[in-house]
Amino acid sequence: MANIKSAMKRAQIAEVRTLRNKIVKTGIKTSMKKFDAAIESKDTDTALAAFKLAVKKLDSAVTKGVIHKNSAARKKSTLARKFNAM
């Protein structure tokens, strides 16, 4: 553990950010799984709602700096291709 006050603060901030990043990433994964389930069930309305939610979560993660914008763009593109193929 750090002895210097500023190092202790940085360690605490890192813990908080790690927790936030984990929550956001888990939310993204969950929304993408729900989208995949909707695609499997061939329910267009549910798939569209799940697609919009997943895109919203990805954009939110980019804004917060949790994931890189190109990573989000790649995932959104993959989701769009799956939705259009349905």
Give the domains, in start order, of the chain with CATH numbers: 5-85 (1.20.58.110)
- C-alpha to C-alpha distance for 74 and 78, rounded to whole angstroms: 6
Residue tagged 């939310």 (tokens) = 27
Taking a C-beta distance cutoff of 8 angstroms, is the pair 36, 25 a contact? no
Which pLDDT score is estimated for 2? 80
Please check the confidence at residue 1 and state whether its pLDDT lies above 80. Answer: no
> What pLDDT, in 10s, does the model give residues 11-60?
999 999 999 999 999 999 999 999 999 999 998 999 999 999 999 999 99
SS3 state of residue 41: coil
pLDDT beyond 80 at 9: yes
